[in-house]
Amino acid sequence: MLANPPFNVDDVSLSSVEKDRRFNTYGIPRNKSKVKKADAGKETVPNGNYLWISLFATSLKPQGRAALVMANSASDARHSEADIRKTLIEQNLIYAMLTLPSNMFYTVTLPATLWFFDKAKNDDRILFIDARNIFTQIDRAHREFSEEHIQNIAVISHLHKGQREKFIRLIERYFAAGMERLIENNEKIEPVCAQLLDVLDDAGGKQAVEELLQHWRELEKLQTHYAQYRTEHAIATEIDKKNQAQHQLRHAFDPFFSALHEGLKRLDKTVRQHEKQQTGQAQQEGKRTSTDRRTKALKSALEELHQDVKNAELYFQHIHWLQERFPNAAFEDVTGLCKLATPEEVKEQDYSLNPGRYVGVVIEEDGKSEEEFIEELLAMNEELSSLNSVARELEAVIAHNTRQVAGEE
């Protein structure tokens, strides 16, 4: 059972729910202050979140499971809501709690938490997952999970349940998808090289082409490594051996991408120098300084190649992310990501169900490459210069108006 009930519903009549077992089995949310007798029939539930939570908990069959999206505030709510939460925990109905990033919804910016119920749990511990740093930024105001993000988060639960083979299969799918992208990218290298020689028709251009081809020749070795892994482990069932082989295979790809990015950076620099020479020559001849069509086409082709390489590398980054956090292809507590908390640990936190209290905090890198950082820095500097220019104009206008008011002009 899955649901996304409305958050923070107010003005639910207490009399309509307090005698209903769907809502009173684990307790009823009540106002902190006493209600006057005259207003007793008008008393309302302070917040409807725990009515939804109770409805789900009481609807479970003996083997039932459920998940719902709930406002973050419910994880730490106090007073009567805290008593209900304590009862749910002590009755061992909560399987896992997962905090989502903010800005995941189009209508509201507040973060939410996923509650997972399981009436047939095997133990009394609770799995906490903090996914606030896992997302793809769509625009300034919106984020989303990619399909890979969803799979990476889900595999944490699989590992917790001892389903290690699902972790291995996920890594294998990423290898297969990454190799497929790289092979597709390789087919684009020849046309890009032809454009390079067309635009950079000199020794520097030939060297740039040779370096690019040299980097891509390494792909043949990686294909051999990958084929060897598939042959040797196609029917192997021992998880630890497969996991070790996957680590070795992933390490083989790291130098390839590092060298490829460095080569593409040098190639970009060569094209920029060529463009600069073109501009200087055009200025000397009194011509327009716009870049010619061939150079523009080459720059577009290189930008596309950059993006293609990043799209292929993304699968290997997911592999690295998973292997770094779960190196043994088995569940373990990971600072800043997940924690399997005992009843004693939950009690120490006053029965809070906020994952952030349990997993700890880790400082994450922003994931930007050097080129992306420089590009963003230059864009910000350009925007600052524009704002400073506007500010100076406004300063002059204000000074002029002030002098006029004072009769100095």
In the chain, where the domains are located = 2-162, 165-330, 371-409
Predicted pLDDT of residue 38: 47
- pLDDT by residue (tens digit) across 158-171? 999 999 999 999 99
Give the integer Cα–Cα distance in Å for 171 and 239: 12
Predicted pLDDT of residue 348: 95
Q: Which of 36-45, 49-58, 236-245 has the lowest mean pLDDT?
A: 36-45
The fold adopted by the segment(s) 2-162 is Rossmann fold (3.40.50)
Predicted pLDDT of residue 115: 96
Q: Which of 39-43, 63-67, 249-253 has the lowest mean pLDDT?
A: 39-43
Residue 125's pLDDT band, with cuts at 50, 70 and 90, is: very high
Say which residue the tokens 């189009």 belong to.
106
> Taking 90 as the threshold, does the pLDDT of residue 150 lie above it?
yes
> Taking 90 as the threshold, does the pLDDT of residue 292 lie above it?
no
> Taking 50 as the threshold, does the pLDDT of residue 50 lie above it?
yes
83-96 average pLDDT score = 95
Give the integer Cα–Cα distance in Å for 197 and 62: 70
Predicted pLDDT of residue 87: 95
CA distances from 364 to 6, 133, 210, 351, 353 (A): 32, 8, 37, 28, 23
Give the integer Cα–Cα distance in Å for 26 and 81: 10
> Taking 60 as the threshold, does the pLDDT of residue 41 lie above it?
no
Entry pTM: 0.79
CA 409 to chain centre: 59
- Residues 310, 314, 319, 322: is their CA dihedral positive or negative? positive
Three-state SS string over the chain comes to CEECCCCCCCCEEHHHCCCCHHHHCCCCCCCCCCCCHHHHHHCEECCCHHHHHHHHHHHCCCCCEEEEEEECHHHHCCCHHHHHHHHHHHCCCEEEEEECCCCCCCCCCCCEEEEEEECCCCCCCEEEEECCCCCEEEECCEEECCHHHHHHHHHHHHHHCCCHHHHHHHHHHHHHHHHHHHHHHHCCHHHHHHHHHHHCCCHHHHHHHHHHHHHHHHHHHHHHHHHHHHHHCCCCCCHHHHHHHHHHHHHHHHHHHHHHHHHHHHHHHHHHHHHHHHHHHHHHCCCCCCCCHHHHHHHHHHHHHHHHHHHHHHHHHHHHHHHHHCCCCCCCCECCCEEEECHHHHHHCCCCCCCHHHHCCCCCCCCCCHHHHHHHHHHHHHHHHHHHHHHHHHHHHHHHHHHHHCCCC
> Taking 90 as the threshold, does the pLDDT of residue 286 lie above it?
no
